[in-house]
Structure 1
Amino acid sequence: MEVTSFLEGWRRASLSNEVLEHTINLAVSVWLMIKLGPVSEQEGPWRRLRWREGSLQDCIHEHFNKKPSLNLDGIRLPRSFNAWSIEKIGGVEIEFTDNLDDHLFLSEDNSGMKVQIFHHANFLQHFQSSMFPEGLLAETLDTLKLVFPQSEFGRLGGFKCKRRKFLENLWLKSREREIDTSLGSCGTLQAEARRIEKFNFWRDRLIVLKQAYDEKTPSSLPQWWYDRRNRVVWSTFWIAILVLVLSVAFGIVQCVQGGIQASKA
């Protein structure tokens, strides 16, 4: 708590000092992985915590302790709901963030939908402080186990799990920041732990993300191939494609045979 007292003391003493304010904001972002201050237009829709009065701890607790407000009826988080399916089937691009407050935040612009993932699994596992509400960091880690389950994205002995390559490609795409490579190796949520009512701090954002995922319909052949959420629809589509291909192939064969017969005549 010495760090908190130091920051709050300087804040009260020189609140109008813009340089000092930026320094304090930077210190908090490094210490607690939360960005403070107003959001500039260049930063887009991303979030910053406004600390105007009171203690920093009270500000953080008040911000994260808001009760979920969205209806959870019909929301399921199956084992197939993970980073790979969110991007490949749901059409939502995965981006990593160093700001805890941006975690699971879904945005949309002309280029499509993007979801921010707070990737610092080691921080969530080992940071101990009353600065955060009780259970927040543990629940955040659970969301990483949900989105990047070790059974899909980790390693088994010397072998990579089937989605490991996808995760490694995400790391390569995020060269501008140092990604926590323990992501994908921090466990897997079992069925009971995946129930939406088990989440409190991140429930609303999970609901928004899952609804966007459920509402997405395939728009390309690769998406139709990967999207097996509805096995009946998937089977019907590919049977129709197979029939079409066979019909075209049969038609081509008949045309060739007809041409050969005509040339012989």
Structure 2
Amino acid sequence: MAHLPIFGHGLTGPLEPQVQEYIKDAFWPNSKSSIAEYASYFRYFQWTLSVLAWPKGIIDSEQFALKIYGDLARAVRCMESNIGLNRLMIAEKLRDELPKSSQGQILRSMDLAARLWLTLHVRSGDFPVGPSLSDITETQWMDRMSLQNMVQECFRPSTYSIEHYEARIDTAFTVRNLRKLCRIKIQWTANLRDHLNYDRSTGTLHLFPHKICLISHLESNGVLPKDLVAETLRTLDLLFPFGEESTQKYLAESGQDFYRTSSRDLSRATDFGEFQYWRRRLVELHELFHQAPRSVLQMWHDRRNPMQWWTFWVAVVIAILTVLFGVISSYTGFQQVALAEKAYQLSVLQACSQGNTSLQICRE
């Protein structure tokens, strides 16, 4: 399996199960999950390779030192074993395993391997991997920076402090309600760095769906900080609570199957103080969630305060009925005036027809 080419003719097609199993074992050797749970991840894996196309519309395999999946596995093992060494030093170690490759090919291959393995959009400026995508935050791996430091630069613990009364998380704070009450659109991102990033200009919330990769990192290696991985899992469990049928239905319609993937024994968060890395983004999203509804449809769906909801809509119904009865009353009033006018004209006609010329109107 290690001798199968990475840049083959079936690049845009699905990976064979044997290839998927090999990649899973290479990236996360201690993973206990079934290959079926990685279906969404391998769609991302295939997409990542497909967007490497150069201007001529083909993938130039000569740009990379990685030729077969065995090379990819060796690159990941080398980076994992040397996370404290800088980028150039790791490249030198890889040169021993890939002796026919240039430094540029090796550096570009390291970026690609990190992108596939860590689900970070690593794209260094000196040897860029694939096109620059406007909606994805790029991660620069500098020459004198270790893999460990690169990850730390991407994910710094938040210094954002919150008051005690602001720290409590509303039990209704879920993606289902964010979509209904705030009209937020969800965009799935395979770039972990963009998780929980909310674009106010488009009303789009980016969410990382590869829960199985997070669990596999917990089980297999320490490149991504364990507390970061566990915290990310808790954000997904917070926004997509288990046991909620509408949540499960939405995920199924979105083609995301991570709902059935267990997060082990991680409890549902109730306080923002429990988060370090994602605290600011969660709090900003929570504040948006509690903003006053801006449309009638949002007000109709916003039932977090039942008494307030009933009071508002009863007042709306009363106001509508008041206006309706006012219109009806005005209409009947106009009709009565019109009928009175017609009755008057009829009586005049009757009087004139009987030869009553004493009336001024009859003489006219």
Amino acid of the structure 1 residue aligned with 2:91: G
Match for residue 119 of structure 2? 33
Q: What residue is the counterpart of 2:302 in the other structure?
A: 227
The structure-2 alpha-carbon separation of the partners of 1:43 and 1:213, relative to structure 1 and needing over 3 Å to count, comes to: farther
Stretch moving more, 36-45 or 246-255: 36-45
**SS of residue matched to 1:183:** helix
Q: Which residue of 2 aligns with 1:47?
A: 137
User: Deviation per CA, 1:190-243, whole angstroms, max 9, x where unpaired?
Assistant: 66x3211111221122122212222x3212211001123444543332122111
Q: Which amino acid aligns with 1:9?
A: A
Q: 1:136 to 1:240 in 2, by over 3 A?
A: same
Q: TM-score, normalising length from structure 2?
A: 0.57
Using the alignment, how far apart are the partners of 2:174 and 2:102 within structure 1? 44
How far apart in 2 are the matches of 1:46 and 1:150?
A: 29
Residue 59 (1) aligns with residue 150 (2): yes
Using the alignment, how far apart are the partners of 2:314 and 2:193 within structure 1?
45
Residue segments in structure 1 that go unaligned for 5+ positions in a row: 153-160, 172-178
TM norm structure 1: 0.76
- CA 1:166–1:245 in 2, change beyond 3 Å: closer, same or farther? farther
Structure 1 counterpart of 2:241, one-letter code: P
Structure showing the higher strand proportion among its residues: 1
Q: Does residue 70 of the first structure (1) align with residue 160 of the second (2)?
A: yes
Secondary structure at 1:218 match in 2: coil
Q: 1:162 deviation in Å?
A: 3.1
Q: 1:125 matched to which residue of 2?
A: 215
Contact 2:154 2:193 survives alignment (8 Å): no
How many residue pairs get matched? 243
Q: CA offsets per residue over residues 150-187 of structure 1, 9 Å max, x none?
A: 122xxxxxxxx134333344x1xxxxxxx541236646
Equivalent in 151, 158, 162 of residue 246 of structure 2: 162
Whole-angstrom CA distance in 2 between matches of 1:16 and 1:213: 49
Consecutive unaligned residues of structure 2, counting only runs of 5 or more, are 1-75, 96-100, 344-364
Name the amino acid aligned to 1:197: G
CA RMSD of aligned residues (A): 3.3
2:224 match: secondary structure: coil
Instruction: Name whichever of 181-190 and 67-76 sits farther off.
Output: 181-190
Q: Deviations over 1:111-148 (max 9, x none)?
A: x3222100011112223211111222121111100011
Determine if the alignment matches structure 1 residue 81 to structure 2 residue 173.
Answer: yes
Which amino acid is the alignment partner of residue 70 of structure 1? Y
User: How far did residue 47 of structure 1 move?
Assistant: 1.8
Listed as ranges, the matches of 1:138-149 within 5 Å are 138-149=230-241
Offset of 1:20 from its aligned partner?
Answer: 5.0
Structure-2 change in CA distance of 1:76 and 1:145 (3 Å): same
Q: Is the 8 A contact 2:91 2:107 kept in 1?
A: no
Structure 1 pair 2–164 and aligned structure 2 pair: CA distance change class (3 A) = closer
Q: 1:183 and 2:259 equivalent?
A: yes
- Bigger radius of gyration among the two: 2
What letter corresponds to residue 279 of structure 2 in structure 1? R
Contact 1:120 1:183 in 2 (8 A): no
Distance 1:115 1:38, change over 3 A: farther
Equivalence for 1:206? 282
CA shift in 2, pair 1:260/1:198, >3 Å: same
Q: Secondary structure at the match of 2:117?
A: helix
User: Against the structure 1 CA distance between its residues 180 and 3, is the aligned structure 2 distance closer, same or farther, given a 3 Å change threshold?
Assistant: farther
- For 1:142, what is the secondary structure of its paired residue? helix
Please name the residue that 1:156 is paired with: none
- Contact 1:119/1:183 (CA < 8 Å) preserved in 2? no
Distance in 2, Cα, partners of 1:238 & 1:199: 37
Amino acid paired to 2:205: V
